[in-house]
């Protein structure tokens, strides 16, 4: 058993011990466990957990040697436990963390396009925060900078926001989190950058959907299309969006209606088709869509169009980087 697996099982035992004592969901126990560990004390409210459990947890926490663990290991363990919490609660597939390889692709493109200055980022479907935090960490690392990015996240699920809050803390990032429907008016200033793995499916509130140009003519509208429109409305002029979207909206019947509308509203910069092997069936296949909002000195350029066959080897990312550099030199720079 390797070190991470052993640690995972030790953390898991702590979470389950607290879950039983408090009679709460695995997700709630997970959030409270990391709160306890980060604060260095076990929270007791109205006698719960009881003294016996506090003593047991104190021993278990001491055995973790939490303060000696690296930030990377803490984030890794928390991510695995978050996945378990989502699976245990049988939550929506939209709430699963975005694979790290996708964050790397977005970070590579963002590094080329974004100005090297302090920027405001938002993820309007933040979930547990994995995608946004992974991209920000890679941008900070690549720029060798201490740029003080302003981060915000929106989600309508309070438990997911709790995960995002803990994860931000573990990543040493500050973020403002808002529990709301991202298709209602945003409570934040217009961001310079939006990064999001958009939830896919139908939006149930037809009355609200009626306010959007991308609404369906009959029945429920696609939430992912409405969200793209909402992002455009809320993005700063000349701001960028880096979105993980269903491949189906970029081509076929839906794309035939949607893409002409989108190309009028923004300047599309890149469409990167993700490997088929990343998805269980062709209906789930996704692409990375990058666009820039209209603004002063913003002009159309040739779109970076590419399909990735695999992301299993370092060479696959190197090939993408070569294409990206060529495209950037010829079209943007």
* Residues 224-245: tens digit of each pLDDT: 999 999 999 999 999 999 999 9
What's the CATH fold of domain 93-332? Answer: Rossmann fold (3.40.50)
Which sequence spans correspond to the domains of the chain?
Answer: 3-88, 93-332
Output the CA torsion sign for 152, 158, 164, 167. positive
Residues 40, 37: Cα–Cα separation, whole Å: 5
Domain 3-88 has CATH 2.60.40.3080: no
Cα–Cα distance measured from residue 70 to residue 280, given in angstroms and rounded to the nearest whole number: 34
**Segments of the chain with pLDDT less than 50:** none
Report pLDDT for 254.
81
> E strands along 183-303, which residues?
193-197, 202-203, 221-222, 240-246, 266-273, 286-293
Burial, 260: exposed, middle or buried (Cβ in 10 Å; 0-12, 13-18, 19+)?
exposed
Give the predicted TM-score (pTM) of the model: 0.91
Q: Decide: helix, strand or coil at residue 168.
A: helix
Measured between alpha carbons, how far is 290 from 242 in angstroms, rounded to an integer? 5
Tens-digit pLDDT profile for residues 258-316: 999 999 999 999 999 988 887 777 667 889 999 999 988 888 889 999 988 877 777 88
Distance CA 247, CA 134 (A): 23
């Amino acid at each position: 058993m390797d070190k991470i697996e052993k640690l995972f099982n030790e953390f898991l035992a702590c979470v389950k011990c607290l879950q039983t004592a408090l009679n709460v969901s695995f997700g709630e126990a997970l959030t409270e466990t990391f709160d306890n560990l980060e604060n260095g004390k076990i929270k007791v409210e109205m006698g719960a957990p009881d003294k016996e459990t506090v003593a047991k947890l104190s021993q278990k926490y001491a055995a973790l040697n939490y303060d000696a663990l690296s930030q990377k290991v803490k984030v890794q363990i928390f991510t695995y436990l978050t996945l378990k919490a989502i699976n245990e609660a049988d939550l929506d597939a939209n709430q699963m963390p975005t694979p790290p390889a996708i964050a790397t692709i977005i970070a590579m493109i963002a590094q080329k396009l974004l100005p090297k200055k302090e920027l405001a980022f938002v993820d309007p479907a933040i979930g547990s925060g994995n995608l946004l935090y992974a991209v920000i960490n890679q941008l900070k690392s690549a720029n060798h900078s201490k740029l003080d990015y302003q981060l915000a996240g929106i989600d309508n699920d309070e438990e997911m926001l709790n995960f995002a809050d803990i994860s931000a803390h573990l990543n040493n990032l500050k973020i403002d989190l808002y529990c709301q429907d991202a298709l209602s008016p945003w409570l934040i200033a217009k961001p310079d950058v939006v990064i999001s793995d958009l939830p896919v499916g139908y939006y149930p509130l037809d009355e609200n959907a009626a306010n959007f140009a991308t609404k369906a003519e009959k029945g429920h509208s696609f939430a992912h299309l409405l969200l793209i429109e909402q992002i455009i409305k809320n993005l700063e002029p000349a701001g960028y969006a880096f979105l993980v979207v269903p491949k189906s909206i970029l081509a076929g019947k839906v794309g035939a209606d949607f893409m002409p509308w989108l190309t009028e509203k923004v300047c599309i910069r890149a469409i990167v088709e993700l490997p088929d092997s990343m998805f269980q069936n062709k209906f789930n296949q996704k692409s990375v869509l990058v666009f820039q909002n209209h603004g002063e000195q913003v002009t159309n350029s040739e779109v970076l169009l590419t399909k990735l066959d695999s992301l299993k080897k370092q060479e696959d990312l190197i090939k993408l980087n070569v294409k990206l550099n060529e495209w950037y030199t010829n079209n943007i720079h």
